[in-house]
């Protein structure tokens, strides 16, 4: 295997444009999943849109289980630069290895690290001429089966060009914890590698989300019957107490504010996706009514409705208490729209909101040790486990009330913080900025030298979780030899085989067999067996034609299966 060495001196740093343009971006994931409006789907589409508009590569190749599904959605992105010049290509997944062999990739990027990353690295090590970087971005890190997925990332073939991008400092700490605990718990060899961890936040389109004009604000507020003097507080996210945030503490904090002397006029807007048969929105409505809090809940707002809500809002609230959260896309959307935010001091939120400048962070506390729940979790549904953790994550209600009161009473401070939020998001979180940072990560990955000796070792590295399935199921057939065990057992053309060779009959070849039978001439195989020939000799002659031994073995067994060849002196025959 030809390994990639460290870059030439003139190629170090950010590659010249011509070098980037000659490279191929590849992925095994559909970045246009559609369906429910989830953070992962929004982030994947945002990355896809920004990448194809930036257009830093010559070609974009997606290897998918269902290419047609993505093809139908590309029509909505026809304005992107890479699509306009016809640089996006969709292939069935089975073409991945062959194209990697013949064309080579500059990089492979995945929408998450738990689906295909170790498999992709294994295939790259074995079949690619270049050890290209493989990057991925996780969007949640809390699921109970994730330790098993990350365990597969620690193996002898992992390199520093295998990269998982943490979206926040908190997510980085979680990923580091996963790999540390797994190594300790399984006593894994220190020589086994693992992906490099890099910080890469998610982004937002700061042209789509922008500050509201006075006319837009007035129109939006009229639609919701909000007076000019009312301070509208918007909270947007999944409406699920066990999957995002419990909003009852918010209502209790608002009640505290309304009980203050000369209290500001407040109206709470809550919007987001509601799960089927979940009565959480109804419970919020009843509690707000009992507390005499003006509350409006908007279920599943479309893009137009979401813009209207951002237009009429005076400040943004997000009080996540759930470990499924790692970043906070809604905070980027609010900040890009020029809104100050009040958020829980939680995970990636503290990266986005600059406390006291672009918003206010509310202290949170949670237990460091939960041994009973750690054990109990594996007998519970995921959402119940998350609920039990979230219900012991405390958002400081008195502090939250003070934060709301402070910003509700000071329009000038809200405006200044909103402007700072817009500036911060534009500078650090616009998708064009994120794509450039990701490209830099690729360059830094290529700067990690891999010697020819190391490349050769990686090409032979086996993954402990990828088993020898032929041996594993060796008890299924009545006879399962290595071909050397056939000794001088002979094969010869069958009657049907002679008919096929003489073009008097046809044989059916199922799709995708060419993956295994690459470069094999079936007629040549049949010609070699016109007269009895030892299996070992037949295989030797096939391999002499640059056919891999295993492909030759497959071809012979396939020909026997389809009655093109027949065995002479069958070593495992029984009397009938």
Q: What CATH number does the domain containing 163 carry?
A: 3.40.50.2000
Per-residue pLDDT of the chain in tens (576 residues, 90 and over written 9): 222 222 333 332 334 443 444 589 999 999 998 766 577 889 999 999 999 999 999 999 999 999 999 999 999 999 999 999 999 999 999 999 999 998 889 999 999 999 899 999 999 999 998 899 999 999 899 999 999 999 999 999 999 999 999 999 999 999 999 999 999 999 999 999 999 999 999 999 999 999 999 999 999 999 999 999 999 999 999 999 998 999 999 999 999 999 999 999 999 999 999 988 899 999 999 999 999 999 999 999 998 999 999 999 999 999 999 998 899 999 999 999 999 999 999 999 999 999 999 999 999 999 999 999 999 999 999 999 999 999 999 999 999 999 999 999 999 999 999 999 999 999 999 999 999 999 999 999 999 989 889 999 999 999 999 999 888 888 888 777 676 666 678 899 999 999 999 999 988 888 888 887 776 788 888 999 999 998 888 888 888 777 778 888 888 899 999 999 998 866 655 555
In a domain, 31, yes or no: yes
Residues 417 and 441 in one domain: no
Pairing of β 533-534 and β 490-493: antiparallel
The confidence score (pLDDT) of residue 565 equals 94
Tokens 């029509």 locate to: 75
Count other Cβ atoms within 10 Å, centred on residue 166.
23
Count other Cβ atoms within 10 Å, centred on residue 475.
8
CA distance 62 to 557: 33
Residues 423 and 441 in one domain: no
Residues 305 and 359 in one domain: yes
CA distance 62 to 390: 38
Residues 277 and 226 in one domain: yes
CA distance 117 to 107: 12
Residues 358 and 442 in one domain: no
The 8-class DSSP code of residue 225 comes to: T
CA distance 193 to 507: 47
Residues 116 and 143 in one domain: yes
Q: What are phi and psi of 377, to 5 degrees?
A: -55, -35
Tokens 């493989």 locate to: 134
Count other Cβ atoms within 10 Å, centred on residue 503.
8
| Residues 324 and 347 sit within 8 Å (Cβ to Cβ) | no
The confidence score (pLDDT) of residue 200 equals 97
Question: What angle is formed at CA 193 by the lines to CA 187 and CA 196, rounded to 5 degrees?
Answer: 120
Residues 267 and 218 in one domain: yes
What is the Cα 273 distance to its own chain's centre?
Answer: 21
The confidence score (pLDDT) of residue 380 equals 95
Encoded tokens for 199: 């910080």
Domain limits for position 555:
474-568
Strand (E) or helix (H) holding 257: helix 248-258
Count other Cβ atoms within 10 Å, centred on residue 292.
8
| Residues 113 and 432 sit within 8 Å (Cβ to Cβ) | no
| Residues 203 and 431 sit within 8 Å (Cβ to Cβ) | yes
Residues 517 and 455 in one domain: no
CA distance 347 to 326: 6
In a domain, 223, yes or no: yes
- What percent of the residues of the chain are helix, what percent strand, and what percent coil, each to the nearest 5? 45, 15, 40
Residues 377 and 422 in one domain: yes
In a domain, 469, yes or no: no
| Residues 328 and 347 sit within 8 Å (Cβ to Cβ) | yes
The confidence score (pLDDT) of residue 153 equals 97
Encoded tokens for 405: 């009161």
DSSP string, 363-392: PEE--S--HHHHHHGGGS-HHHHHHHHHTT
CA distance 345 to 360: 9
Residues 275 and 384 in one domain: yes
In a domain, 422, yes or no: yes
Tell me how many domains the chain contains: 3
In a domain, 366, yes or no: yes
In a domain, 25, yes or no: yes
Residues 57 and 114 in one domain: yes
The confidence score (pLDDT) of residue 5 equals 28
Tokens 């057939």 locate to: 477
Global model pTM greater than 0.85: yes
Distance, first Cα to last Cα, the chain = 50
CA distance 350 to 200: 15
In a domain, 398, yes or no: yes
Count other Cβ atoms within 10 Å, centred on residue 48.
27
CA distance 174 to 166: 9
The confidence score (pLDDT) of residue 222 equals 94
In a domain, 4, yes or no: no
The 8-class DSSP code of residue 79 comes to: T
CA distance 467 to 470: 9
Residues 142 and 37 in one domain: yes
Tokens 């502090």 locate to: 399
The CA R_g of the chain, rounded to the nearest whole Å, is: 30
Measured in residues, the chain has a length of: 576
């Amino acid at each position: 295997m030809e390994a990639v060495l460290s870059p030439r001196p003139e190629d170090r740093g950010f590659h010249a444009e011509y070098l980037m343009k000659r490279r191929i971006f590849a992925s095994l994931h559909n970045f246009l999943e559609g369906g429910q409006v989830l953070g992962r789907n929004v982030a994947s589409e945002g990355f896809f849109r920004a990448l194809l508009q930036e257009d830093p590569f010559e070609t974009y190749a997606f290897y998918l289980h269902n290419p047609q599904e993505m093809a139908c959605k590309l029509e909505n992105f026809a304005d992107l630069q890479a699509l306009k010049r016809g640089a996006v290509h969709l292939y069935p997944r089975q073409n991945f290895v062959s194209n990697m062999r013949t064309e080579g990739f500059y990089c492979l990027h995945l929408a998450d690290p738990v689906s295909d990353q170790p498999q992709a690295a294994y295939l790259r090590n074995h079949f690619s001429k270049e050890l290209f970087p493989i990057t991925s971005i996780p969007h949640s890190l809390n699921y109970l089966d994730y330790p098993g997925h990350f365990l597969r990332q620690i193996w002898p073939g992992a390199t520093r060009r295998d990269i998982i991008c943490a979206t926040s400092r908190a997510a980085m700490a979680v990923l580091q914890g996963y790999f540390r605990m797994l190594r300790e718990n399984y006593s894994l060899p220190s020589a086994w590698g693992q992906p490099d961890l890099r910080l890469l936040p998610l982004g937002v389109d700061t042209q789509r989300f922008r500050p509201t004009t006075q006319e837009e604000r007035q129109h939006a507020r009229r639609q919701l019957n909000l007076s000019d003097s009312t301070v509208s507080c918007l909270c947007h996210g999944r409406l699920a107490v066990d999957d995002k945030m419990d909003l009852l503490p918010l209502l209790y904090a608002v009640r505290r504010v309304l009980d203050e002397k000369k209290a500001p006029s407040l109206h709470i807007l809550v919007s987001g996706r509601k799960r089927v048969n979940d009565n959480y929105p109804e419970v919020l409505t009843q509690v707000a009514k009992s507390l005499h809090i003006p509350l409006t809940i908007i279920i599943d707002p479309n893009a137009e409705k979401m813009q209207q809500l951002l237009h009429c809002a005076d400040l943004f609230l997000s009080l996540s208490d759930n470990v499924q959260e790692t970043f906070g896309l809604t905070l980027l959307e609010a900040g890009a729209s020029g809104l100050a935010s009040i958020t829980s001091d939680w995970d990636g939120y503290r990266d986005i909101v600059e406390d006291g400048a672009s918003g206010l962070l509310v202290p949170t506390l949670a237990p460091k040790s939960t041994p009973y729940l750690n054990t109990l979790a594996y007998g519970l549904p995921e959402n119940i486990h998350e609920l039990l953790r979230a219900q012991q994550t405390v958002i400081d209600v008195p502090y939250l009330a003070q934060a709301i009161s402070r910003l509700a009473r000071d329009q000038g401070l809200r405006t200044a913080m909103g402007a700072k939020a817009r500036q911060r998001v534009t500078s650090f979180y616009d998708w064009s900025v994120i794509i450039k940072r990701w490209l830099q990560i690729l360059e830094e990955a290529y700067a990690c030298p891999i010697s020819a000796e190391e490349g050769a070792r990686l090409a032979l590295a086996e993954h402990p979780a990828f088993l020898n399935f032929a041996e594993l199921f060796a008890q299924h057939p009545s006879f399962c030899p290595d071909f050397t065990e056939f000794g001088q057992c002979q094969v010869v053309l069958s009657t049907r085989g002679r008919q096929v060779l003489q073009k008097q009959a046809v044989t059916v070849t199922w799709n995708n067999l060419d993956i295994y039978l690459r470069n094999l001439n079936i007629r040549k195989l049949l010609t070699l067996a016109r007269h009895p020939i030892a299996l070992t000799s037949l295989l030797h002659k096939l391999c002499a034609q640059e056919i891999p031994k295993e492909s030759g073995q497959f071809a012979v067994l396939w020909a026997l299966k389809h009655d093109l060849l027949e065995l002479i002196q069958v070593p495992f025959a029984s009397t009938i």
